[in-house]
Structure 1
């Protein structure tokens, strides 16, 4: 006499059988969703609505907007770098030295690669207008360089006092003395 195994639990049966109908819910479809379109219908609709190509004037306008974004990008980094410089303190530490090195290196490399940076935006329609964008880019990088100079000065590495140049100063010669030379 062999015992028949018990039937599987209802949750196993539900898991192994796909739902026959879409469950009824009261949740509305999201905006823009159309359940009536199948995959083929969507593909056909996307082929029919071909995007028109922008005119050269529109492309020049878009390129100028993107060029301005590139030109102002270094200024957007200034607050973060200033806070980082403030947080490192004025002592000579490896972290503050690396941050100062980066503050000097980044603007110099940016100035050297100026033409390469703005080459994608250069067209006959934008070449005259890009001059101002390049000047702003150089000025924002100069601000970054100025932040580096401020930090080096705060660390005491810039020779700004008279005592920093004592090695090159000549001994003073006095034209008058209060006491005769022989007494000294």
Structure 2
């Protein structure tokens, strides 16, 4: 082995000592908060002030906004669910059965777990406003459930016609009888 093989490659030297930052020669300004020629030591010295804690009124307002986002979330899924149900067809296939099952399961589970969905947003000062969001959430889940009922009706699984109830109808008594002669 020669002494040239033991020397350190240029890329290792470049990694250990990065090139100096170039001055901004272009007309595009640096983004806000980007230190142009400030060294790391100077950047640490000029730290940003810590953020002030929000007041309880601001926290209640933020919690209420988040609660309304949760309340309106089921409606945001409705267009996709309706399109998927429409595209799956009205025949009894595994895909359409799974779609109908999910169309009923998700809103029912959402209604059952309403309190758990909103408990992180509740406080003593905003209980009445959270109740409004909860009612809107339940209403939106009912709308999602109505889409499932629409699909079941379109598949012909709801007994909505007279022929679906023939087993419980009495046989009509004829007013006249016709007898053939010999």
On whether the aligned pair clears a TM of 0.5, the verdict is yes
Q: Structure 2: how far apart are the matches of 1:81 and 1:166? A: 34
1:110-151 Cα shifts (integer Å, max 9, x gaps): 111111111111111110111211111011111110000011
Change (3 A) 1:110 1:20: closer
**Aligned position for 2:161:** 161
- How much has 1:80 moved relative to structure 2? 0.7
Superposition pairs for residues 82-101 of structure 1, below 5 Å? 82-101=82-101
Q: Structure 1: how far apart are the matches of 2:73 and 2:133? A: 12
**Aligned position for 2:103:** 103
Q: CA RMSD in A?
A: 2.6
Superposition pairs for residues 115-126 of structure 1, below 5 Å? 115-126=115-126
Unaligned 5+ residue runs, structure 1? Answer: none
Q: Structure 2: how far apart are the matches of 1:61 and 1:167? A: 58
Task: Describe the SS at the equivalent of 2:107.
Answer: helix
Change (3 A) 1:13 1:145: same
Higher relative contact order (CA 8 A, sep 6+): 1
2:142 is the alignment partner of 1:142: yes
Q: Structure 2: how far apart are the matches of 1:170 and 1:40? A: 95
Change (3 A) 1:39 1:83: farther
Task: Describe the SS at the equivalent of 2:127.
Answer: coil
Change (3 A) 1:139 1:20: closer
2:29 is the alignment partner of 1:33: no
Task: Describe the SS at the equivalent of 1:138.
Answer: helix
Unaligned 5+ residue runs, structure 2? Answer: none
- How much has 1:40 moved relative to structure 2? 7.0
Q: TM-score, normalised by structure 2?
A: 0.82
